[in-house]
Structure 1
Amino acid sequence: MRVLAWSILMLAISSLPAKAQTYDPRVPVCMKVYDGSDDGGGEWIDCSYTSLPQCRASASGRAAMCVINPYFVEAPLPARSQHRRHRHAY
């Protein structure tokens, strides 16, 4: 009975539509643009901004809003040198 329940569950999950990630993880700020045209409209996400002020300047006067990219991955900081000075006892 458990095998049948798991099989049905897995079949149901696999038949759900998948949604692709719409945010570019290389950029910290994205602009959501809303298209209110008569043909159904829609929205898209433009992840090409390095700061909120830059994005807001581009969004000004448009049906758009700027958001912090939830998938942004910061580049790791360079490793600090492990070289230390040692005091010598004389």
Structure 2
Amino acid sequence: MLKLVLALAVLVISAPARAQTYAPGAPVCLHVFGELEGERIDCIFASFAQCQAAASGRPATCVMNPYAAQAQPARAGRRVR
């Protein structure tokens, strides 16, 4: 019985952990923390205003998504013809 328990413990411990992922299409993330809701990051907001409305009254804060796909600004300069 002890060997079975140890074998199961090894399997559980050696299972790969899931990492927090960020959605690349959403530029703003809601970082929720606290004992009631647990800690997590939800990257589902298009603007800070949307995120702040969701964070209102909760132990949460809005942060920029470090992996958001950002449009490349057009280069300013002279065109060669």
Which runs of structure 1 show a deviation greater than 3 angstroms over 4 or more consecutive aligned residues?
Answer: none
Q: Look up the match of 2:66.
A: 70
What whole-Å deviation, never above 9, does each CA across 1:32-52 have from its counterpart, x for those lacking one? 111313xxx631111110000
Distance 1:22 1:52 in 2: 19
Structure 2 residue runs of 5 or longer lacking an equivalent are: 1-15, 74-80
**Secondary structure of the residue that 2:52 maps to in structure 1?**
helix
Report how many residues are paired: 62
What pairs with 1:46-85 in structure 2 (closer than 5 Å)? 46-75=42-71
Q: What TM-score, normalized to structure 2?
A: 0.59
- RMSD, aligned α-carbons: 2.6
Structure 1 residue runs of 5 or longer lacking an equivalent are: 1-16, 78-85
The one-letter code matched in structure 2 to 1:56 is Q
Larger radius of gyration: 1
Q: Look up the match of 1:29.
A: 28
**Secondary structure of the residue that 2:70 maps to in structure 1?**
coil
**Secondary structure of the residue that 2:33 maps to in structure 1?**
strand
Match of 1:44 among 40, 43, 52: 40
Give me the identity figure in percent. Answer: 53
